[in-house]
Amino acid sequence: MLKINPETKLPYNFIKGSVAQRTQKVRLLNKGVYNKICSCNAPLTKEVLEDAISNNLMDLTQYRKGIIKVKPKTIAELPVAGARAYAGADIDTDLNISCYTINVPFNKDGILTDLSAFMHELTHVHQELLEPKVITRDLAVFNQELNQKSLLNCVSVIQFFYKYLYKTKPLVPNGTDCHFPKTLAGIDWKFRTRHKKSEDKINILQFYRYKLNQEKLAYEEQIRYTKGVNEEIIEKAFNMIDKQLGLSKAQEFVENKLKKELKKARK
């Protein structure tokens, strides 16, 4: 069963607070890393990035180094078509999450090629560290699927997310509203979950809801740290991305399904 190594958790005194307060702490952690990167005046190597992350965590939480690692990748090594980077985790032999990883493209000289993409994935890792209930639910979903049948069940849950709810590249040209395949997604959802208990469906839908919320914040932060962008155009730029990727429409689909399942469970 997948578990979280206690050493990969931040101190409770730092992560406690409301959802809004924890979101602000994610932004605070991001800003601290970005400022350290900018102040070092050095090429953005793996070592420079990891030092900025670790020193920032130590400054703000007095936590140990090594909780987040940067893994240089080439574009060909990125697993999702169209993805520029992705966040992940290292799992030890006891199935514990031993550290979080940021997998981003580096050039042949070992230098980061896209700082804004790095900030997007860093946001995801900071979210995981500051939202223990979210990652606990994630693990509950994965462990439930693994226990019921096999790894294929777990893959099916993730496949649905990337097929209908979150595309890693725009579905439509700039400025065009995304068409969300609501009917097709509904049919596929019903087929994939036809043998599942209501409780399991609720957990999976909560998992999807949290993931979509996380993507929204990650894109906002990616825009914030894109060269030449100021505060005045962040909202406008995010709204354009939201339209292109259909994040809000996917979220509406998930929320509606979740309401129906919760209503059934309460009868």
Three-state DSSP class for residue 111: coil
Which pLDDT score is estimated for 171?
Answer: 47
Q: Give how many domains the chain has, as a whole number.
A: 2
Which position has the token pair 């030092």? 51
Token couple for 240: 């354009």
Last residue of a domain, one of 83, 107, 130: 130
Domain of 88 in residue numbering reads as 1-130
Q: Is 81 in the same domain as 5? A: yes
Would you say 119 and 221 are in contact if contact means Cβ atoms under 8 Å apart? yes
Separation of alpha carbons 224 and 26, rounded Å: 13
User: Does residue 139 share a domain with residue 125?
Assistant: no
User: DSSP labels for 62-96?
Assistant: -PPS-SEEEEEE-GGG-SSTT-S-EEEEEE-TTSE
pLDDT by residue (tens digit) across 55-81?
999 888 877 667 899 998 766 665 554
Q: Please tell me whether the overall predicted TM-score, pTM, comes out greater than 0.85 for this model.
A: yes
Share of the chain above pLDDT 90, in %: 37
Residue 81: per-residue pLDDT: 46
Spans in the chain with pLDDT lower than 50: 81-82, 151, 170-172
| 73 and 39 co-located in one domain | yes
Do 101 and 159 fall within a single domain? no
Dist CA 206 CA 211 (whole Å): 9
